[in-house]
Chains A and B, each alone.
Chain A
Amino acid sequence: MATLKALSMRLKAVTNIQKITKSMKMVSAAKYAKAERELRPARSYGMGVQTFFDRAEVKQKEEGNKRLIVAMTSDRGLCGAVHTNIGRQIKALVPELPAGTEFKLICIGDKSRAILGRIYPAEMLMHFVDIGKKVPVFGDASAIANEIINLDYEFDHAELYFNIFKSVISYNTTAVPIFSRKNIEEAEKFNLYDSIDENVIQCYNEFALSSLLFFAMKESAASEQSARMTAMDAASKNAGEFCCGEKMIEKLTLTYNRTRQAVITKELIEIISGAAAL
């Protein structure tokens, strides 16, 4: 049997962790409410861009052998598998690429850099930090868009991976294509659009990229907060309630009290038998 001191320390640790996870849940619940509220107006940015690409039937050539992969995560952990899912999808994609394909990575957030930067260090172009401390704003998205526009890597095929928020308990890891100007000009229904010159297309495409990034940032922030809320809720439940079929804190309290009584009984026996021997 464990000593009394060890038991009391463990009991204290578990209770403290439960307190921490409970308050973290409260914090992320508040943050989640804000993220979800802000997500609704931000969605129209992404929807607008995607609808135009859909209607114009803009497509990326599959045979392009220079790819760019953008992974959208954040700096913060303790939110379930949100970031790991992004990394997993990209790791699953890379072996599927046809031979001779060159690909480069841009990681947004420390978590994707930690996951992907270790496996594909040679493919990393850049990563962005300080995401997730504050609510994402359009300025953040345009800063990323600016870096992508100014890349000296000419890609044929680009994709943005992010988590799309569905409900409090679910999100989908999705990839959306990032189109280049050439893609738009080669689109089938491009001629349906009237009086647009090269300049308009270039401007629109640059703006579309930052809108898409803004939309993805908001979506991933909302899914991250909701996932953190669920994860923290589960963690406090595990500490306070069922663990291996029993309530962990209750079980520990019971063992602690039993051990305490055993120690007292042992001491009493020692004193009494000592007195009897005199």
Chain B
Amino acid sequence: MEFWRQAGLNYVQFSRICARVVRKSLKPEVRTTALKRDEAHIRVVQWKDGQPIKPGAV
């Protein structure tokens, strides 16, 4: 088992952190455009018993 999975991460989260690190270490002229691709705008709303409950950030 990988160390990050033991820490409770899954591959999606792990690779996202890796991607963020790579983007941050880019040369400054390409960094800003690359960092723009890192943002997620989406929000999740969980449902319980047929009712949406308070929205939370992803």
A residues neighboring B (CB under 8 Å): 117, 121-122, 124-131, 133-134, 137-140, 142-147, 149-150, 199, 202-204, 206-207, 209-210
Contacts and interface: CB of A to CB of B under 8 A. Distances in A.
B7 to A, nearest CB: 15
Nearest to B53: A126
Contact of B10 (A127, A138, A149): A149
Interface string B39-50: 111111111011
B12 interface: yes
> What are the nearest 3 A-B pairs in CB distance?
A121-B50, A139-B40, A143-B58
A133 B50 CA distance: 27
Interface in B14-58: 15-16, 37-47, 49-52, 55, 58
Nearest to B37: A137
A201 B54 CA distance: 34
B45 A126 contact: yes
B46 A126 contact: yes
Given A121-B51, A137-B37, A138-B37, A129 B43 contact: yes
Nearest to A207: B11
Contacts of A125: 46-47
